[in-house]
Structure 1
Amino acid sequence: MNRVVLLLFVLFKTIDAAAIELHPEVVAIQKDLINLSTHKNVGEVFERHQNVLSENNLDTQSRDLIHQFIATYFSFIGLHQRAERLYQFGQSISQQQALDNFTAYDALDEITALAKKNRLLMVNEAHHIPKHRWLTKELLIRLKREGYSYLALEALAKKDEQRINKQGYATNKSGIYMRDPAFSELISVAKELGYTLVSYDKYSYDREKEGAENIINKTFALDPDAKVIVHCGYSHIDEKHKLASILAANLHIDPLTIDQTALLSTHIPDIYKNTPVVFKSDTEQYWQPTNSHFDIAVYWPAQTQITNRPAWYMANHQRQRLNETWCNNAFPCYVEVVNNINEAIPFDRYLWLNPAIPASVRVRAGDSIFVYDKFGKQVRQLNSPFIK
């Protein structure tokens, strides 16, 4: 198989490899993701992506890949809602199906209570939805005091494992998904808490088996009493066919498997929580889609916005309101928040599309804000403390 095609299949949701013929934009958009750290013409790239999305002659497979790639790019530049709208999948269930005989409970509380009694927790994500990383980050905080000390990451490359464990943060040279500010924050929080990060994924046809062996060799084989969290993509938590099933068989442990992707296409208007929920019956049974092979399905209600950005992302951080004069009144306008650590992932990225819609970025003491025009020319630098 073409090496680029194999990489696409590993990084993104699997499609039919035998029949694929790549549209030129598939590779071009992948390069946009890779080059985001060095190419600041994000506004120009966004407009090109919009043109690609309007094409009517894309074959089904190319369209699927292009939507995934562009959705991921959107998520990296702070356009989280656009990313979610662009690429949806999973089961769409009605409100009646979800709530009949079930009650919504806080997902963090429920998962934490169950994980206390387990030694292996597996949480999945859709790669274009950074809020899924927020859930794992919050679980890391709660479960550290319950004895969890290893975090195995599908997105962590073997070549980066030692370096990130030592320095405590991801860089622009880390894996593609780690360049997302939310994933970078997950890494930093894990290291601040004292977790050992574990790389395990290998781009091969025996991926699940080799991944399981790597996790075991780096955790349970070294520490029989280990408690491990695995953060992976999509179906790897499947307890019948995938990574979770192999770990269970080899370790004789029933992993606690948490899915965040099955309900992506579902909207239940009567759930008014700002945090993810799970549905549990009076008999303590958790709602699951039919024929699923995981323990709990997590549902994310519509999220509160803070200056038109998701509350889960902005809450508990200092915020700086953007000023259209910083962009010389020319839009789209790209904003990055960075510190002085060499090659560190920006703490925030945001493509400001419309000055009529107010927006903020999240900042820390010592950060600088860099502003770029559509073509990638830097038009402003602001250093903390920032202008009110």
Structure 2
Amino acid sequence: MKIYFTLLFIVISHLVTGQITIQKLFELNDQIIKKHPENYQIAIQEFNKLPVDSMDARTKSLFYQFQSTYHSFIGNYDSSRFYWDQQYVHALKNDEIKYDSTFYKQHNFVDAKKFILKRAKNEKVVMINEAHNIPYHRVFVSQLLNGFRELGFKYLAIEDLADQNINTTRIVTDTIGYYSHDPLFAEMIREALRQNFVLIKYEARNTNSNRMRDSLQAVNLAKLLETDPQAKLLVYAGYDHVHENTRTSWKKMAQFFKEMTNIDPLTISQTRHIERYHTQFETDEFLTVNKFVSFSVPVIALKDHTVWHDDFVDISLFYPRYLTPNNRPKYLSMNSTTKALPLDTYGQKGLFVQAYYACEKRGHRIPADQLFIKTTKEFLYLRPGNYILEFKNTNDQIVNTKRVSVRK
């Protein structure tokens, strides 16, 4: 499977002995995925061995994206943020943190979930994006799915989806996508199946042109609506693909889609107003909202009933600060569909725990939750059901297993 990251343009460099290139990074990643299913530790271990100093700027950027993604998969969210920001640390300035009190005073801040579902009532196509290293974007979309289904949305098109047979198998495995290796992404897909969405694969393949990729994505979505003209469609994409315009020659998927279909999608961005490892990279609006507004769920800003938004989208979300040292993120405990399962951590500090659905066969499973045991009081967050807990050492060897049930 070819993995697309957010590099504006990737030129596959010539192989040079001893030099780490973009091509070598992709090859290493592909080997890890194919040879080590269910092993979430080895990717980080192998990437840690690479000599970063031997990489050119574009290769370093991809390296940091891989590291950020894999750390997000295993719940090392602070490390994930660190590696993501390493791409831009050369531009870091010791500027004074700025707060825009006028922005705060001129806007009301309302629950994003309620507002979006109300706004989407009369929409035919809704597009929402994610940052590929931010799992709580998937948590938020999971919480929207029931509401969208009740509004009559039938299809959920997922950029990462590689195997549309999931609509028949109803089983989420590590072969259906790349970012869906993240437990929270997998849980979002499972929730979509529970809500009886038809999942749609729409990614463009075999192109190294960003503009061509976006145009082919739009073509695939337009074809879907040609075959089912009355359908309502929810699209889950990465980053700027939901932009309805651009300042460059790189036209995005949503803009192509709008021109092809004459349908103006409701576009929603989750990716700008989020916490970063370096506060200097956070937007002034994010800093302001988190300083002056008390909130624990995503919000949007309204001025005279008009939505404030970033360029090229209709709605922009503001997220609270979720991460605190030595604690799992608050959004895990706020999910109404999951229960906190306390772990017996005695004598098991440092082990990696994965909670798999008991009904799934070993080999290509994606856990419902996973963590490293770091303290004497740890919790897994799981939906009601039966699970197998696997406790693994740093070599990914199972040293203990336990069957547990989570009651409603």
Give the TM bin, normalised by the shorter chain: 0.7 to 0.9
Q: List runs of 5+ in structure 1 lacking aligned partners.
A: none
In structure 2, the partner of 1:37 is 37
Alignment match of 2:390 (pick from 370, 377, 384): 370
1:201 is displaced (CA, Å) by 0.7
1:311, 1:165 → 2: CA distance? Answer: 32
1:154 Cα deviation (Å)?
0.6
Partner of 2:277: none
Deviation for aligned residue 1:323: 3.2
User: Where do residues 81-100 of structure 1 align in structure 2 (5 Å cutoff)?
Assistant: 81-88=78-85, 94-96=98-100, 98-100=103-105
Describe the superposition over 1:319-376 as per-residue Cα deviations: whole angstroms up to 9, x where unpaired. Answer: 222333363x4x2x21110123124421112233x336x4221234310100001111
Aligned to 2:354: 336
**Conserved? CA contact 2:43–2:70, under 8 Å:** no
Which one has more relative contact order, counting CA pairs under 8 Å at least 6 apart?
A: 1
- State the distance in 1 between where 2:170 and 2:152 align: 20
- Please state how far the C-alpha of 1:62 moved relative to its aligned partner: 2.3
TM-aligned CA deviation for residue 233 of structure 1? 0.4
Measured at CA, do residues 30 and 319 of structure 1 come closer, stay the same or move farther in structure 2, by a change above 3 Å? farther
Query: Residues 81 and 275 (structure 1 numbering): CA distance in 2 closer, same or farther, change over 3 Å?
Result: farther
Counterpart amino acid of residue 217 in structure 1? K
Aligned to 2:6: 13
**Secondary structure of 1:182's partner?**
helix
Superimposed CA distance per residue, residues 113-164 of structure 1 (whole angstroms, 9 cap, x where no aligned partner) = 111121110000111111111222222111211111110111111xx10x21
**Aligned twin of 2:91:** none
When residues 362 and 209 of structure 1 are mapped into structure 2, their CA distance, relative to the original with a 3 A threshold, is: same
- Which residue of structure 2 lines up, in the alignment, with residue 224 of structure 1? 229
Q: Tell me which residue corresponds to 2:259.
A: 249
For residues 135-284 of structure 1, what are the structure 2 equivalents within 5 Å?
A: 135-157=140-162, 160-161=163-164, 163-203=165-205, 204=207, 205=209, 206-218=212-224, 220-240=225-245, 241-264=251-274, 265-266=282-283, 267=287, 268-282=290-304, 284=305
In the alignment, does 2:402 pair up with 1:382? yes
Question: TM-score, normalised on structure 2?
Answer: 0.80
In 1, Cα distance between the equivalents of 2:231 and 2:252? 22
Letter of the structure 2 residue corresponding to residue 311 of structure 1: K
Once the two structures are TM-superposed, the CA of residue 63 in structure 1 deviates from its matched residue by: 2.3
> Are residues 321 and 209 of structure 1, via their aligned partners in 2, closer, same or farther at CA, if it must alter by over 3 Å?
same
Query: Quick check: 1:29–1:70 contact (8 Å CA) kept in 2?
Result: no
Say which is worse superposed, 17-26 or 257-266, in terms of deviation: 17-26
What secondary structure is seen at the aligned counterpart in 2 of 1:149? strand
Which residue is 2:17 aligned to?
none
Three-state SS of the structure 1 residue aligned to 2:226 is coil
RMSD: 2.9
Provide the C-alpha distance between the structure 1 equivalents of 2:57 and 2:43, rounded to a whole number of angstroms: 23
3-state DSSP of counterpart to 2:292: coil
Give the C-alpha shift of residue 46 in structure 1: 4.2
> In 1, distance between residues paired with 2:151 and 2:318?
25
2:63 aligns to what? 66
- 1:255 and 1:76, CA in 2 relative to 1: closer, same or farther beyond 3 A? same
Give the drift of 1:232.
Answer: 0.4
Q: Percent identity?
A: 24
Task: Note the C-alpha offset of 1:242.
Answer: 1.0
Output one character per residue of 1:86-112: Cα deviation in whole Å (capped at 9) or x when no partner. Answer: 31489x994317525122211111211
Instruction: Measure how far apart 1:80 and its partner are.
Output: 2.7
The Cα offsets for residues 171-217 of structure 1, whole Å up to 9 and x where unpaired, read as 12221112211111111111111111111111223222221121122
Q: Quick one: distance in 1 between partners of 2:121 and 2:156?
A: 16
Q: What letter corresponds to residue 69 of structure 1 in structure 2?
A: F
> Given residue 386 of structure 2, which amino acid in structure 1 is its aligned partner?
G
User: Within 1, Cα distance between the matches of 2:375 and 2:84?
Assistant: 26
Partner SS state of residue 166, structure 1: helix
How far 1:19 sits from its partner (Å)?
7.4
Letter of the structure 1 residue corresponding to residue 196 of structure 2:
G
Between the two proteins, the alignment pairs up a number of residues equal to 363
The structural deviation recorded for 1:30 is: 5.8
